Amino acid sequence: LGTGNPTLFASWVFVGPQHRVFFSGDTGFHPGFATVGEQFGPFDLTVIKIGAYDQSWPDIHLNPEQAVQAHTMLRGRTMLPIHWMTFNLAIHEWDEPAERLVASAGSSGVTFAMPRPGEPVDVTAPLPTAPWWRSVRKAPR
């Protein structure tokens, strides 16, 4: 490390014989998404975090609009949003990232999948997009 910054973020590119996948890991928004998209894209699937964001720590987590922008820079075809519902890390409501993602992806023309936890996603089949989280009871704050 030696840079004085003890945090090391990493993302992955999976290149198979038929498909390419990008996994964001923990990250903030940066211009490197375009470089990865140019070098390794287009991607059949981008798996990008959309949750646990706050204006106080923009360098470590993407918000939904930034995630859609990153997906576009990566030259992604389908986006699978992650890191938004498991446990509370931020001040926003647990389902806010999903709602903001749906709005941003819709206005940007981005194709996305929103599977229920544990539901598989196959980019060659119809994608799960139903807003299932709206029927989940919210716990009081």
* Tens place of pLDDT per residue across the chain (141 aa): 345 555 666 899 999 999 999 999 888 899 999 999 999 999 999 999 998 898 888 788 899 999 999 999 999 999 999 999 877 778 888 899 999 999 999 999 999 999 999 999 999 999 999 999 999 876 666
Dihedral over Cα of 34, 37, 38, 44: its sign:
negative
pLDDT value of residue 18: 94
Give the Cα separation of 108 and 137 in Å (integer): 29
Q: Of the candidates 123, 108, 37, which has an alpha carbon nearest to the alpha carbon of residue 69? A: 108
Q: Of the candidates 98, 82, 95, 77, which has an alpha carbon nearest to the alpha carbon of residue 27? A: 82
pLDDT value of residue 6: 58
Rounded to a whole number of angstroms, the distance between the first and last alpha carbons of the chain is 39
pLDDT value of residue 141: 60
